[in-house]
């Protein structure tokens, strides 16, 4: 594909290495279908990123226009100086946290648009020196398999993506932000003050604690988050192409 030719934005989705996947004899790589469908519905093309990849980082990021880091297992508590309690369930693959963080750091450095969902937001907070509460109270709000309102800060990426609305969200997390990481700004909270959204000023990123893929097919505010990352990815691709020499070809 040559410079200036429009194409569907390529959205990287970090895959979760799993010891057991239905239909496979051995371990496999998992990505939530509803995350992938939501990206497609918003006009993007999802590309699953393998956590064991040895691809040159510059080549990998050059091929991507945006990235989504979905929910999944808990972040290893040793990353924030704690021991796992009885409720914590870490990833099957010991290199998963570092692989996902490498993607997050690479995108922040290159200003590739990022949508971080649940575990993705928690990884961001821990990587920047923050910590997690390993099991949050179920009262006054139950954050596991429930819905609740989120109060969104105005003038944030999140507020702009949601056109100023405070969303009713699908919640499925038993951990929450404790100590806030460096340079992070809280842009969303639940009614019990649990942190629900984070951003870094000047970075094309939205990090949220809830699962917009659950209801994106019917909820405008959930769909809007995937639309935001796809639109931002399209803009990123256009700017990236403008910086290339006129004779250089860009692969699809």
Q: List the domain boundaries for the chain.
A: 10-242
Tokens standing for residue 231: 């639109």
- Mean pLDDT, all residues of the chain: 92
How many beta carbons lie within 10 A of that of residue 164, not counting itself? 10
Q: Hey, which CATH number is domain 10-242, 3.40.50.970, 1.10.260.40, 3.40.50.880, 3.90.110.10?
A: 3.40.50.880
pLDDT at residue 248 greater than cutoff 80: no
Mean pLDDT of 10-39: 92
Tokens standing for residue 72: 């999944």
pLDDT at residue 181 greater than cutoff 60: yes
DSSP strands (E only) in 20-112:
28-30, 45-49, 66-69
Phi, psi of 170 (to 5 degrees): -90, 115
Model pLDDT, residue 4:
44
Mean pLDDT of 176-199: 98
Tell me which of 204 and 28 has the higher pLDDT.
204
Model pLDDT, residue 11:
98
């Amino acid at each position: 594909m040559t410079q200036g030719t429009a194409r569907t934005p390529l959205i990287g989705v970090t895959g979760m290495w799993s010891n057991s996947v239905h239909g496979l004899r051995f371990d496999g790589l998992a990505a939530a279908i509803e995350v992938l469908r939501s990206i497609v519905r918003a006009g993007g093309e999802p590309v699953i990123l393998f956590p064991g990849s040895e691809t040159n980082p510059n080549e990998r990021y050059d091929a991507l226009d945006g990235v989504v880091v979905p929910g999944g297992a808990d972040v290893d508590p040793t990353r924030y100086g704690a021991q796992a309690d009885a409720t914590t369930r870490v990833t099957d693959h010991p290199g998963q946290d570092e692989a996902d963080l490498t993607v997050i750091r690479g995108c922040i450095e290159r200003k590739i648009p990022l949508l971080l969902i649940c575990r993705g937001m928690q990884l961001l907070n821990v990587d920047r020196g923050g910590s997690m509460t390993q099991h949050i109270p179920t009262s006054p709000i139950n954050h596991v398999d429930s819905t609740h309102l989120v109060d969104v800060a105005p003038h944030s990426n999140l507020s702009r993506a949601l056109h100023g609305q405070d969303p009713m969200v699908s919640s499925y997390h038993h951990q929450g932000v404790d100590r806030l990481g460096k340079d992070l700004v809280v842009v969303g909270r639940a009614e019990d003050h649990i942190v629900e959204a984070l951003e870094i000023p000047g970075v094309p990123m939205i990090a949220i604690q809830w699962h917009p893929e659950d209801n994106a097919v019917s909820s405008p505010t959930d769909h809007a988050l995937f639309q935001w990352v796809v639109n931002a990815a399209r803009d990123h691709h256009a700017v990236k192409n403008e910086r290339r020499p006129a004779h250089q070809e860009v692969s699809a």
